Amino acid sequence: MRYLARICYDGSKFEGFERLNNGKGVQNELERVLSEIQGKPVLVKGAGRTDAKVHALDQCVHFDFPMDMSLEKLKYVMNRNLCPYVSVRSIESVDNSFHARHNVKEKTYVYKIYLGEKNPFLEDYAYFFPYSLDVELMKECSKLFIGKHDFRNFVSGEREDYCSVIDDITISKENQFISFIFQGKSFYRYMVRSLVGAIVDVGLNKVSIEDVKNALDLKSSKTFRVVPAKGLYLVKVQY
């Protein structure tokens, strides 16, 4: 039987989602628990990788698990044995052809900036940024990225194809928090963090919207800030 599990985790306690030789990936923890329950190795496939310090409220994974156990009991046993920083939100049966990454239709990421006084309890969960930002200018800049674009100037590492489609970007300010919501199917390494960084540079009046447009249109290779991973959350995966 193949199962789809929706999980959440505190990224500050891991070195990313991906399985690592040192055992400090979220994937390692999930596979450890499932393998202990099953009594033999169980592999987990995720909807996508998240980098070190990135959080997830709705990461999705699939795994094959032949043991006869109810969904509620499997969820209960997993949560009893997982470390405190990972939790299974739900488990459901899926077709054996289902793949947590290949079947994704849309992902939603949120990036959080904190503008208030320094707060040690927010240190691992938002980007502390005690400078004035022009939110309306940032909203205008964000519109550049909606639609299909070649994002090679806004990702890290080499790829064969840098094209992706962003369906929507929403920026809002509530009290001392600014939230950036990104919706799309595929986001490459550091992509959301790089896009937020460029938008923030515009909000600081450090660069112009035209500078960002030229980089997006590949008319320049100008670089912008890349905001820290700790403010990034994977909040929804849709199939």
With H, G, I as helix, E, B as strand and everything else as coil, classify residue 134.
coil
Decide if 194 contacts 154 (C-beta within 8 A). Answer: yes
CA distance 92 to 72: 9
Give Cα separations from 120 to 11, 114, 116, 152 (angstroms).
17, 12, 12, 35
Written as one string, the DSSP assignment of 61-120 is EEEE--S---HHHHHHHHHHHS-TTEEEEEEEEE-TT--TTTT--EEEEEEEEE-SS--G
CA distance 84 to 82: 6
Element (H, E) at 202: helix 191-203
Q: Is 51 a catalytic residue?
A: yes
Q: Which of 10, 51, 124, 211 is catalytic?
A: 51
Decide if 231 contacts 111 (C-beta within 8 A). Answer: yes
In terms of Cβ atoms closer than 10 Å to its own Cβ (0-12, 13-18, 19+), residue 196 is buried
Element (H, E) at 33: helix 26-38
Residues with catalytic function: 51
